[in-house]
Amino acid sequence: MPKQHQQKTKQSPYAADRGIPAAYEGETVTRRRFMEVNAMTVGGIASAAFGLPALGFAVGPMFEKTTRSGFEPVGIEADFSDTDYTQKVITIVDDVGEAGKATVYIRRFNPELDRDHFRQPYIAISNRCMHVGCPIRYVQASQRFICPCHGGIYDFQGIVTGGPPVRPLDRFRTRVRNGVVEVGRRFSVTDALDEMYSPRDPSNHLNGLWKYLYPPRPTT
Amino acid sequence: MKLPTPPLPKALRRRPARPGSRPSRNGARANGAVHDLRPGARERDGKPSSKGGSQIDRQRLKDQAAEVPVSIAGWLDERSGASPFMRGFMYRKVPRGTNWFYTLGSATMFAFLSQAVTGVFLAMYYNPAPADAYESISHITNEVFLGEFVRGMHRWGATVMVILIFLHMARTFFFGAYKYPRELNWVIGVVLLVLTLAMALTGYLLPFDQRGFWATVVAVNINASGPILGPYLADFLRGGAEFNAITLSRFYSIHMLLIPVLIAALIGAHLYLVAKLGTAAPPWMKAEKAKALAREEV
């Protein structure tokens, strides 16, 4: 073993010294080696030429803002009370039929009940459970939002009181135009109900240090 | 080390000549063959055509017909050199104690082939657009000839494949067949398992009914629960922040193009390693001692 090693280190860098036929003076890279490297490089460039655009094509939607930005009217102000939720259906994504629709629970802001800092005239709560995204429903008798899949329970403000969900229910921006209530973009919240975070997926924690593990995405 | 070539199976071996018969051109013997088998040879010999002559003609045609597959196989083999490979692959030796549990891998592969074939034909009728997917599936099920059967094969075959792949994995585990030198094959098998489950997941959405839709929503959100990369992975799967118009076609493309190609390629590698390394004997089989090494102690 050591002998072989010695031999290898002694080998001359010059092709001519190694007895390679037709080597010219000072040649260190043999023609064979040169062609090998060239063929590999050309092959690599050719593969990248179709591979990279195809990959970019596939991952492109990850970097485009795809959420709806406008407001959608849901009814006149008289339709809503400030002590109870009214159920409305809005379109979150166009062109996918029922799959793009979502139920929203809407109630007028009530200074006696609500302590949040969002300054929205109406409270619009998303029906998407914050565990893994099943549709929750509001149960009038218990004044709770309840998820049928894995038993997530939220109180009147949408804050988790039981089950596996990791954060309060998402909300939507609201505004009133000419007496008509309009629902806008989704935003995510923490238990403190103090800051409007860009919408995160269900299952993404937002409290404390968790929010650094679930960063905002380019799509929202 | 070079293994001896396994013998040809009996059916492919050349038959010995019957006593009193003469060899035909391919060396096979025909019963009661005469000197000249060409048509009309008898007439040219000056003998009148008879019942015996037409019998001989029939025999000659039979001989020629028997020669056709042999000569086609020979033509291909001469140009591809496939027969030593195929013989080594198909007629390789298996250890003593090989039993029915060893067929689970092949069963899984045939489940995959069945999925591939039925899937290709389902794709002829299926339309991966959110507005049409459910309609096209119900068209397949209710109107297309044998549609219910082919879709049923695909739908239940998916479950069968998942069950079989787990049984195959259990066999490998309990027989210790994952140990040296077969670890790489175990790793390939695990990748195949994951790909099979990914097939099950992506295929679940395609009927675009309530169950498939909500299962996909939940599955994508489970992907999103991974720290840091999870939310981006979910965006990649959906092609956006919400379930949208391209999600279904993405799942369809992944289901019928991306993963099947990967599975087919990995099955090839899996089988190559099985043929190369051989199968492992069941754990209850004792290694046989060579006679020369056995020593009797009294």
pLDDT score, position B17: 76
Q: Is the pLDDT of residue B188 over 70?
A: yes
> Phi/psi at A184 (nearest 5 deg)?
-115, -130
Same domain, B124 and B34: no
For A37-56, what is each residue's pLDDT tens digit?
999 999 999 999 999 999 99
Q: How distant is the Cα of A214 from the closest Cα of chain B, in angstroms?
A: 5
Give A95's DSSP letter: T
Q: Could you say which of B213, B221, B235 has the minimum Cβ distance to residue A203?
A: B221
Q: Which residues contact A171 (CB under 8 A, 6 or more apart)?
A: A118, A120, A123, A124, A125, A126, A158, A186, A187, A189
- Inter-chain residue contact A220 with B243, CB threshold 8 Å: no
User: Which two structure tokens, joined as six digits, stand for B207?
Assistant: 């009927």
Give just the sign of the alpha carbon dihedral B252, B254, B258, B262.
negative
Residue B284 domain-assigned (yes or no) = no
The mean per-residue pLDDT over the stretch B143-151 comes to: 96
Query: Per the CB < 8 Å rule, is B228 touching A214?
Result: yes
Candidate from B218, B227, B231 with C-beta closest to A134: B218
The CA angle A183-A188-A189, to the nearest 5 degrees, is 115
Task: Please identify which residue in the block is written with the tokens 């592969």.
Answer: B109
* CB spacing of B217 vs A220 below 8 angstroms: no
Q: What is the pLDDT of residues A144-199, one digit of tens each?
A: 999 999 999 999 999 999 999 999 999 999 999 999 999 999 999 999 998 899 99
pLDDT digits (tens, 9 = 90+) for B63-104: 888 889 889 988 999 999 988 888 888 888 889 899 999 999
Whether the predicted interface score ipTM is above 0.95: no
Q: What is the pLDDT of residues A106-142, one digit of tens each?
A: 999 999 988 888 999 999 999 999 999 999 999 999 9
Whether B19 and B28 have beta carbons less than 8 Å apart is answered as no
Contact predicate A176/B198, CB 8 Å: no
3-state DSSP helix/strand/coil percent for chain A, to nearest 5? 25, 25, 50
Within this chain, do residues A208 and A136 fall inside the same structural domain, yes or no?
Answer: yes
Q: Quick check: B66 and B60 in contact, CB under 8 A? A: no
Q: Do A66 and B240 touch (CB under 8 A)?
A: yes
Average pLDDT over residues A71-83: 92
CATH of residue B151's domain is: 1.20.810.10
For residues A4 and A144, the model is more confident at A144
Q: How far apart are CA A204 and CA A192, in angstroms?
A: 16
Other CB atoms within a 10 A radius of the CB of residue B88 amount to 15
Set of chain B residues whose Cβ sits within 8 Å of the Cβ of A204: 224-225, 230-231
Does B164 lie in the same domain as B123?
A: yes
Q: Which two tokens stand for residue A52?
A: 């990279």
Measured between alpha carbons, how far is B156 from B137 in angstroms, rounded to an integer? 15
User: Is A61 in contact with B246 (Cβ distance < 8 A)?
Assistant: yes
Of A78 and A97, the structure prediction assigns the larger pLDDT to: A78
Distance from CA of B231 to the nearest CA of A (A): 7
B113/B253 same-domain check? yes
Q: In the listed set A62, A87, A106, which residue is the last one of a domain according to the structure? A: A62
Q: Residue B89 has what pLDDT?
A: 87
For residues B72 and B157, give the distance between their C-alpha atoms in angstroms, rounded to a whole number.
Answer: 36
Residue A179 in domain: yes
Do B135 and B64 fall into the same domain?
Answer: no
Which of B227, B231, B244 has the CB atom closest to A201's CB atom?
B231
Q: Residue B103 CA to chain centroid, in angstroms?
A: 12
Is residue B56 in a domain? yes
Chain A: residue nearest B248 by CA?
A96
Token digits for B61? 């045609």
CA neighbours closer than 13 Å in the CB half-sphere of residue A90:
28
Indicate which of A66, A150, A197 best probes the interface with B, i.e. most B CBs within 10 Å of its own CB: A66
CB pairs under 8 A between A and B: 91
Statement to judge: residues B257 and B121 lie in one domain:
yes
Domain shared by B138 and B66, yes or no: no
| B244 contacts on A by Cβ (under 8 Å) | 66, 93, 95-96, 100
In this complex, the residue of B130, B235, B239 whose CB is nearest that of residue A95 is: B130
Q: Would you give the DSSP letter of residue A12?
A: -
pLDDT given for residue B33 in this prediction: 44
Residue B16 falls inside a structural domain:
no
At B34 the pLDDT is: 46
pLDDT value for A6: 54
Residue-level pLDDT at A117: 86
User: Dihedral sign, CA of A196, A201, A203, A206?
Assistant: negative
Same domain for B114 and B259, yes or no, is yes
Structural domain boundaries, residue A46: 2-62
Asked, for residue B266, whether it belongs to a domain, the answer is yes
Tell me how far the alpha carbon of residue B157 is from its chain's centroid.
15
Per-residue pLDDT of B114-124, as tens digits, reads 999 999 999 99
What is the number of domains present in chain B?
2
Indicate the residue type of B71: S
B171 CB-near residues (< 8 Å, 6+ apart)? B101, B102, B104, B177
- Residue A152 located in a structural domain: yes
Residues B179 and B144 in one domain: yes
Q: B265 is written with which tokens?
A: 């390629």
**Pair A36, A82 in one domain:** no
Q: What is the pLDDT of residue A208?
A: 84
* Minimum CA–CA partner of B129 in chain A: A96
Supply the pLDDT for residue B50: 52
**Same domain for B109 and B47:** no
User: Do residues B256 and B123 touch, judged by C-beta distance below 8 A?
Assistant: yes
Nearest by CB to residue A203, choosing from B225, B228, B241, is B225
Nearest to A133 among B217, B231, B236 (CB): B217
In sequence order, the β-bridge partners of residue B23 are B29
Residue B29, pLDDT score: 46
User: B113: domain range?
Assistant: 100-277
Confidence (pTM)? 0.81
Q: What is the pLDDT of residue A202?
A: 93
User: β-pairing, A72-76 with A137-139?
Assistant: unpaired
**Cα–Cα distance, A101 to B243 (Å, whole number):** 10
* Amino acid A3: pLDDT: 53
Q: Does the pLDDT value for residue B248 go beyond 90?
A: yes
Same domain, B51 and B166: no
3-state helix, strand, coil in chain B (%, to 5): 60, 0, 35
Distance between A58 CA and the closest CA of chain B, angstroms? 8
Interface of A with B (CB under 8 A): 58-59, 61-62, 64, 66-67, 92-97, 99-100, 132-135, 149, 199-204, 213-215, 217, 219-220
Numbered residues of chain B with Cβ closer than 8 Å to any chain A Cβ: 130-131, 208, 213-214, 217-218, 220-222, 224-225, 227-228, 230-232, 234-236, 238-247
Q: Which of A58, A61, A132 sits opposite B218 (nearest CB)?
A: A132
User: Which residue of A55, A57, A62 is the best one to mutate when testing the B interface, meaning the one whose CB has the most B CBs within 10 A?
Assistant: A62
Asked if A215 and B228 come within 8 Å (Cβ–Cβ), the reply is yes
From residue A213, give the alpha-carbon distance in Å to each of A32, A197, B242: 51, 14, 20
Bridge partners (DSSP) of residue B236 are: none
Q: Is residue A83 part of a domain?
A: yes
Q: Which of A58, A61, A201 sits opposite B221 (nearest CB)?
A: A201
| Residue B245 φ/ψ region, left for φ over 0, alpha for ψ in the -120 to 50 degree band, beta for the rest | alpha
Supply the pLDDT for residue B10.
78
Closest chain A residue to B215, measured at CA:
A134
Domain boundary (A10, A30, A62) is at A62
C-alpha–C-alpha distance, residues B138 and B144, integer Å: 9
pLDDT digits (tens, 9 = 90+) for B195-215: 999 999 999 999 999 999 999
pLDDT value of residue B60: 87
